[in-house]
Amino acid sequence: MNKVSLGLADTSVKWHHVKYSPHNLYPKIPWVNGHPTRPPSSKELQYAMEVVSSYHFLSSGLNVVRDPLDKKSIIAIIEFTPFDQLTPSEKDDLNFVSTFLHQTKPFISPVRSSSRVWGGLMWALGWRKSYDQKQICG
* C-alpha separations of 72 from 2, 16, 19, 43, 65 in Å: 11, 13, 14, 42, 11
Give the residue, 11 or 83, on which the prediction is more confident: 83
Q: What is the mean pLDDT of residues 100-107?
A: 78
**Distance, CA of 89 to CA of 111 (rounded, Å):** 31
Model confidence, pTM = 0.48
Quote the CA–CA distance of 29 and 118 in Å, as a whole number: 12
Q: How many residues does the chain have?
A: 138
Q: How confident is the model at residue 23 (pLDDT cuts 50, 70, 90)?
A: confident
DSSP class per residue in 9-22: TTS-EEEEE-----
